[in-house]
Chains A and B, each alone.
Chain A
Amino acid sequence: MPDWRAYVRENLDRLPGSPAEQRQVVRELAEHLEEYYLATRANGLSEKEAFANACAQAGNWEELRRGITLAQQEEIMQERVRQIWLPGLVTLLASYFVLAALQRAAMRYFAAHPGIPHGVVYYVPWLLLLPLVGAIGGYLSRRARGTGYQAYFAVLVPALGIGTFFLFLFLLAFVIGPRITLATKVSALAMGIINWAIFPGAALCAGAALQSLRRKNAVSSRGPRTV
């Protein structure tokens, strides 16, 4: 009986995935070839003929390796979308929906009080509500089996987006506002990034951290699993 695992390993090098995943693929393909070989032997073929038939059944090894790699890449892409980009998009939309709602409320209810600055009226409640949004984003990422880092990255998408936007404005200021001093540009950039990227980012991360803590507590309170 030929060593089918060795045969597959020999022909199918540079497989994608972890060593355990690679071993699993090799084992599965080897078992397929072995079954095929045994079936053709049972049909009366000689060892040599059965071996040749099983080898032909494998097809083109390079095509097989490429096909497995593409399938793996498709999976990685889908996982990234589910674990990072979708929760990130939800966090982004929810963050700015909450901000818009608060701004509208601030205009409606506080317009008659000139002593209260509008910005503070909606900005502070917004920061206080952002952990809730961050918790939702973190939950969505973890539910899609995202790691802790992926969950934090997902909830940071709005902060990273707005930070990039301020950086773009800063660079644009060199083109459209050459008379503005460098100190003014830098302080505007710093204020923009601190107020609209760092503080909201920290609030969103706090929400993701609380969600993660809650999840850990839920898992530990369930105790060890029995099979």
Chain B
Amino acid sequence: MIRTELKRGTAELAILSVLEQGPLHGYEIGRRIEEHSAGALCYTLAALYPLLYRMEHRGWLHASWMIGDNGKRRRCYRLTTRGKKMLKPMRAEWRDLFRALRRVARVSHA
């Protein structure tokens, strides 16, 4: 089980990564992150939405109301050019972090 504090730091990268495949609404973002992480990363509303709003205000995401397959209006988020630009350095940063952790704490053998 991953602790909440650790999960928070990963949320930005997780959101940007799932939105790289196309626009999604809040519930679907949370669901896909949970699915792709095999249930390890599961965000509550309190963790997900403030971050989505912050990323939207920073210009990384653009949100607009769209009509879904079931005819319901959903607020969908899509990656902006600035958001796409953020993804690459963020991935590199996490890769460096994991590499460093592996060296220091031998995480891969833990």
**Interface set of A (CB-CB < 8 Å, partner B):** 24-25, 27-29, 31-33, 35-36, 39, 56-61, 63-64, 66-68, 70-72, 74-75, 78
Contacts and interface: CB of A to CB of B under 8 A. Distances in A.
Contacts of A64: 45-46, 49-50
List the 8 shortest-distance A-B pairs measured between CB atoms, nearest first: A67-B50, A59-B44, A59-B46, A75-B57, A64-B46, A71-B53, A35-B27, A71-B54
B57 A74 contact: yes
A70 to B, nearest CB: 7
The size class of the interface chain B forms with chain A is 10 to 19
Interface of B: 25-27, 30-31, 44-47, 49-51, 53-54, 57-58, 72, 74-75
B56 to A, nearest CB: 8
Contacts of B49: 25, 28-29, 32, 64, 67-68
A17 to B, nearest CB: 10
B72 A31 contact: yes
Contact of B57 (A36, A57, A58, A71): A71
Contacts of B58: 78
Given A28-B26, A35-B27, A36-B27, A60 B57 contact: no
Given A32-B26, A67-B49, A68-B53, A24 B75 contact: yes
A31 B44 contact: no
Contacts of A74: 54, 57
Contacts of B72: 31
